[in-house]
Amino acid sequence: MKTSCEVADIFRLYGREYQKQNILSYKKLKVMNHISICRTAQLGGHVEQCDQCDFERIAYNSCRDRHCPKCQTMVKEKWLNDRKADLLPCNYFHMVFTVPHKLNPIILNNPKVMLNNLFAAVNLTLQAFAKDPQWRVQGQVGFICILHTWSQKLTDHFHIHCLVTGGALSFDKKRWIASKSSFLFRVQSLAKEFKKRYLGLLEKAYLNDDLSLPGKIAIYKSKNEFKTLVQSLFKVKWNTYAKRPFAGPEQVLEYLGRYTHRVAISNNRIKSVENGNVSFEYKDRTDNDTIKTMTVSGHEFIRRFLLHVLPHNFMKIRYFGFLSHRNKKQSIQLIRKLIAPDAIPPQKRNETVLEMMLRLTGHDILCCPKCKKGKMTIIKELPNQFLNSS
């Protein structure tokens, strides 16, 4: 039995046999390999020595794969720091748009098309509501969308988290129209509009032959069967959720950090590997988020983890409205002048990696762990065996 296991350990223990028994895409094989060799001798690194007591240690390089549980902290902190320049002195709302699980097989076989359509449907929905006078904010809202593809049990669960400004820039760009402090849009109405938009995009993709429908979902190649599927999806309730607004922009970045650079499962949730099985913790949403433990086979764990490997170059964080890249800089400056012209905007931190790590961990990573007085300095580079062998 091995405790305190990591995803990398599970790939090293069971990955080779899993690959023999399953046909995997090049992308999934690449992710498995990256995570397996992350911070090992295969990726190279360097030898550090204390300048006081001559203590030595080896530091290996990271794989930097966005699916790796060990490689997201620094990327997340840099991203959050960059977003400080975008914060506005207004309310923000957190919304979640979820696709019914009946669509999961089609999404898994057509991730790029179906997930791009998910972003598009959310964008069209929020933009339509922002234009509608009944919601009081007639103008252009700004929002960030973050894709998540998993449930707490690592199964496929496709949803988008949105951070939406509590107000809109008027179409003539002369006014900031603030929303109510506790309400932006009616959730039930959002869900209906989101359903209509997404299913419209689904039908368009189908008619354009953009969908691959193999295996068990080949039934939908029949137009009648596909029409029946769409009709059944129109009849069910789609889930759209809105949390209470933040008390102020100060809380926004802290909150965003929980969602932006998550991977399917963090290493600290994996509790043990024993007799070919993996045990991990999850929150039971049906039982007041009670922490429970689930045990699955090593192969089943790998299968579930690989469900969440994104297509090549797929952007999981996207910006819309006046926060889109081509509008953002000018729009944010204008909106700040309209809302609070004398307010001092949030400032980005100008800090080194060492300073960032000290802030995050409370430890000076260059301080010698043995004598606690000296500084660790690099005395030798170690070659990247993975690059040399490829």
Q: Cβ-count burial of 244 within 10 angstroms (0-12 exposed, 13-18 middle, 19+ buried)?
A: exposed
According to the model, what pLDDT value does residue 1 have? 45
334: Cα within 13 Å, side-chain hemisphere? 16
- Residue 291, helix vs strand vs coil: strand
Q: Provide the pLDDT for residue 278.
A: 97
Could you tell me if 157 and 151 are in contact, meaning their C-beta atoms sit under 8 angstroms apart? yes
- Residue stretches of the chain with pLDDT short of 50: 1-2, 389-390
Cα 372 to Cα 365: distance, rounded to the nearest angstrom: 11
The β-bridge relationship of strands 45-50 and 56-60 is antiparallel
Note the pLDDT of residue 390: 45
Which pLDDT score is estimated for 359? 83
Domains of the chain in start order, with CATH, are 2-66+350-389 (no CATH), 78-264+310-339 (3.40.1310)
DSSP 187-212: HHHHHHHHHHHHHHHHHHHHHTT---
Distance in angstroms (rounded) separating the CA atoms of residues 27 and 176: 45
State the DSSP H helix or E strand holding residue 278, giving kind and residue range, or none if neither: strand 277-284
Closest CA to 118 of 97, 132, 142: 97
Q: What is the dihedral of CA 103, 109, 111, 114, to 10 degrees?
A: -40
The pLDDT, as a whole number, for residue 148 is 96
Question: How confident is the model over 102-121, as pLDDT tens digits?
Answer: 999 999 999 999 999 999 99
Classified as helix, coil or strand, 378 is: strand
Read off the tokens for 384: 């990247």
Position 249 scores a pLDDT of 66
Instruction: Please report, as a single letter, which amino acid is at residue 384.
Output: N
The structure tokens 């606690």 sit at 372
Q: What is the pLDDT of residue 115?
A: 98
Sequence-distant (≥ 6) Cβ neighbours of residue 313 within 8 angstroms: none
**Rounded to two decimals, what is the model's pTM?**
0.92
For residue 250, give both structure tokens: 């100060």
List the one residue out of 314, 271, 321, 320 whose CA is nearest residue 296.
271
Are 172 and 342 a contacting pair, CB within 8 Å?
no
- Is 147:259 a contact under the CB 8 Å cutoff? no
Distance of CA 232 to the CA centre of its chain: 29
